[in-house]
Amino acid sequence: MGKYIFVTGGVVSSVGKGTVAASIGRILAVRGLRVNFVKIDPYVNVDAGTLNPFSHGEVFVTDDGGETDLDLGWYERFLDITTSRESNITTGQIYSEVIAKERRGDYLGQCVQIVPHVTDEIKRRIRKAAAGDVDAVVVEVGGTVGDIESQPFLEAVRQMRLEEGFENTLFVHVALVLTLKATGEFKTKALQHSVNTMRSIGIQPDIIVARSDRPIDEAARRKVALFGTLPERAVFSSYDVEYVYEVPMILERQGMGEYIIQRLGLGPAQPDWTEWMRVLDMYSKAAHKVRIAVCGKYTQLADSYVSIKEALQHAGIHAGARAEIDWIGTELFEKDPDSIGMLSSYDGILVPGGFGKRGTEGMIECIKFSRVNDIPFLGICFGLQLSVVEFARNVCGLHDAASTELNPETPHPVIDLLPEQRGMERLGGTMRLGSLPIHVKEGTLAHRLYRRSIIHQRHRHRYEVNPDYWPILQEKGLIFSGFSPDGRRVEIIENPGNSFFLATQYHPEYLSRPNRPEPAYHGFVKAALERKLGHVKMSSPQLVDIDP
């Protein structure tokens, strides 16, 4: 029988439940146990695809095309696994299924209610994740205890304790412990109230993780244990660290692994942290620093580009450097064109994905600056599309070139809507999504990076390089180095006039792992480091702008 570990949060959201859940998964995995994950998001949206990154962070895309919560990215990075759309449960999904069953008559005239019909559907979805070759399922319940939206999910997992048995279920509660600046004293009252709220709905935490800016002291640990009705060894401290991948080891050293194994009867397997420690060692020994400017439109919230941030960090440590990232909103360059010169102080420039017109002219100026000044450049999805626009305008002489997403009336639609997207009425789940094969052209930078002719990468886009403009773009020197299998769609572009200029239609950051950096990011950061150290070698003369 599979084991279920339920991770809940209290006091405030974004307290680090996802990191704790992923760390628990890693703690089990290093003991040879097979782990699956479920992230519950109580919002009524069916998935994360239509959510603004400012409000919810990035949309993480799975191999099977799920547009999911960003925490699935943490699960994949921590365990080097592949999740699926079924790993993310939302209120919208649950109610859609319950209503569909009611419309079919599946409930045979019953009055459809939250209990048992909604909670039964939640439990069914959770148990589905435990099917097959799985020893434990880590279930993270999003939001905070006490939220109206979370109540059906908390009721469902409360019922699972009764149905699956005490020995097969474990409740881990993560809550903030405040620190008073004036005295440096830990304040646990908010955590205590959070635990009391859990008890009021029938759930007694088996483990409490105190989230704080520094390790809690013994007095605070005793107080948390006393008011949480737990032994002190069931109270753990998760505190701020420089590198998020330190968290599993922090919890392991406090005895969390041994406690969970004993509590769930998962056996005496000894952990093997060798590979994980190797990664942490690379981080501590990184001798250099590279400054990377990420020039986008959602830069006010770091979680908007969390997979990009992690991919740059992974690439950095494997190149012997720490990536220092500055998030730059490109509207700045539209309001103050002279400010673009600030980018000369960076070792690399990255333009990420996005939607809509805001800030796009600033992004195009960033791309032009990196190309003209030969600063290593990486464009992702929207970054590829705007790179084509920049090249068309400034190298091909198509001065009004644009994407039809940004200017439907452009005389030169070098980026246009995918044919299959025309007439699409629904926004949710209708983009070109998920893992798709890409044919990489031999003799190109992309082929040198990936070292293979066919790769698989995850996509999320509606627009593409317009085939009508392929001839002029290629005649002027732009290289198309990756295509869809049918040859109809450009997936990778390069500018051979630069030491490193690569843009991808897909999102390579989703496949980056701390122990295995994604090749496009690795190549980009290595090029940035080489530039910093003065090892730049031009592969061919630089392309020259055409004067307007």
The one-letter amino acid at 49: G
Q: In degrees rounded to 5, what are phi and psi of residue 233?
A: -70, -5
Distances (CA, A) of 306 to 62, 301, 520: 15, 9, 17
pLDDT for 363 equals 97
**351, 383 Cβ separation under 8 angstroms:** yes
CA–CA gap between residue 298 and residue 329 (Å, rounded): 7
pLDDT for 298 equals 82
Beta strands 321-329 and 288-296 are: parallel
CA 257 to chain centre: 26
pLDDT for 299 equals 77
pLDDT for 57 equals 86
Element (H, E) at 503: strand 501-504
pLDDT for 548 equals 32
**543, 396 Cβ separation under 8 angstroms:** no
Q: How many CB atoms lie within 10 A of CB 281?
A: 11
pLDDT for 184 equals 84
pLDDT for 536 equals 57
**457, 507 Cβ separation under 8 angstroms:** yes
Mean pLDDT per 10-residue segment, the chain (548 residues): 93 89 98 97 93 85 96 97 97 97 94 97 96 94 92 97 97 94 89 95 97 95 96 97 96 97 91 96 94 90 89 97 95 95 97 92 97 98 98 96 96 96 84 97 97 98 97 98 97 97 98 97 97 67 39
**78, 245 Cβ separation under 8 angstroms:** yes
pLDDT for 546 equals 44
Distances (CA, A) of 258 to 262, 313, 320, 528: 6, 30, 34, 43
The set of catalytic residues is 381, 507, 509
pLDDT for 485 equals 97
CA–CA gap between residue 446 and residue 437 (Å, rounded): 14
Dihedral over Cα of 110, 116, 121, 124: its sign: negative
CA–CA gap between residue 144 and residue 156 (Å, rounded): 16
CA–CA gap between residue 468 and residue 413 (Å, rounded): 9
CA–CA gap between residue 352 and residue 52 (Å, rounded): 15
CA–CA gap between residue 25 and residue 411 (Å, rounded): 53
Dump strand ranges (E) for 337-489.
348-351, 377-380, 401-403, 412-417, 432-440, 454-461, 463-465, 479-483
Task: Tell whether omega for the bond before 352 is within 30 degrees of 0, i.e. cis.
Answer: no
pLDDT for 538 equals 39
